[in-house]
């Protein structure tokens, strides 16, 4: 039986490439998107597509019943937003709420719905984080709000893994990637980043539970 892979936030960039590479590997893919156009595009690729807006709690609350009866071998939380501000000025409440809802609240609402299904398969849940989340090595305040959100993602995963002992729950840094979020000057292609992400997950050990890993297989030394 083919492995079942869930990709949350699959309409573009890393999420879309995860869909492509997972399908190419013979996996059955369930992908979530926000728009009808994205739904049509992913359906054409061969994925089963659900409409979920992770920034909208009412939308996320319906994920469990949409996945009722599934066993998830591998789940990816890719959905997220970026900011370009720094600590020279405060974020607006709207900017804070929008980004934190997508990056943190969405994840924290998804985990209790999806992790029992991942446990049923003895599988893996990986939430995309960033090297920009690492506190000890932070070089500046660029993307201030984004850094804070990804540090919160690390904590959410490190805490939640204790409640789901029959699955492996990690955060993973895709690297600096040429996407809408990463920009054209980023050194990594989407294809290479996703290949690394998939290889890293394939090589997980029990010691990795709750940890931050990098796309090239390195384990983060500093949080």
pLDDT at 134: 85
Q: What is the pLDDT of residues 27-52, one digit of tens each?
A: 999 999 999 999 999 999 999 999 99
Are the C-beta atoms of residues 136 and 222 closer than 8 Å to each other?
yes
Indicate whether 3 pLDDT > 70: yes
Q: What is the set of domains in the chain, with CATH numbers?
A: 4-214 (3.40.50.720)
pLDDT at 209: 95
Are the C-beta atoms of residues 129 and 154 closer than 8 Å to each other?
yes
pLDDT at 148: 95
Q: How confident is the model at residue 186 (pLDDT cuts 50, 70, 90)?
A: low
pLDDT at 131: 83
| Range of weakest confidence among 1-5, 33-37, 179-183 | 179-183
Q: What is the pTM of this model?
A: 0.93
Q: For residues 92-102, give the mean pLDDT.
A: 95
pLDDT at 177: 74
pLDDT at 2: 83
Q: What is the pLDDT of residues 98-152, one digit of tens each?
A: 999 999 999 999 999 999 999 999 999 999 998 888 888 888 998 999 999 999 9
Q: For residues 165-174, give the mean pLDDT.
A: 95
pLDDT at 184: 66
Give dist(CA 124, CA 210) in Å, integer. Answer: 11
CB neighbour list of residue 182: distance below 8 Å, 6 or more residues apart: 176, 188
């Amino acid at each position: 039986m083919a492995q079942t892979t869930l990709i949350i936030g699959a309409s573009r960039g890393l999420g879309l490439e995860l869909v492509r590479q997972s399908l190419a590997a013979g996996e059955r893919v369930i992908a979530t998107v926000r728009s009808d156009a994205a739904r049509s595009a992913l359906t054409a690729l061969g994925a089963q597509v659900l409409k979920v807006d992770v920034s909208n709690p009412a939308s996320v609350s319906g994920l469990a019943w949409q996945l009722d009866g599934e066993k998830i071998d591998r789940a990816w939380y890719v959905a997220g937003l970026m900011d370009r501000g720094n600590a020279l000025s405060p974020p607006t409440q709207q900017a804070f709420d929008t980004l934190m809802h997508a990056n943190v609240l969405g994840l924290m609402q998804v985990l209790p719905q999806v992790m029992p299904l991942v446990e049923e398969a003895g599988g893996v849940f990986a939430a995309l984080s960033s090297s920009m989340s690492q506190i000890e090595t932070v070089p500046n305040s660029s993307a201030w709000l984004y850094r804070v959100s990804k540090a919160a993602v690390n904590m959410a995963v490190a805490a939640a893994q204790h409640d789901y002992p029959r699955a492996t729950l990690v955060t993973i840094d895709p690297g600096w990637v040429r996407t809408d979020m990463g920009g054209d000057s980023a050194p990594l292609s989407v294809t290479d980043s996703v290949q690394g992400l998939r290889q890293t997950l394939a090589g997980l050990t029990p010691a990795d539970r709750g940890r931050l890993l990098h796309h090239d297989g390195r384990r983060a030394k500093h949080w």
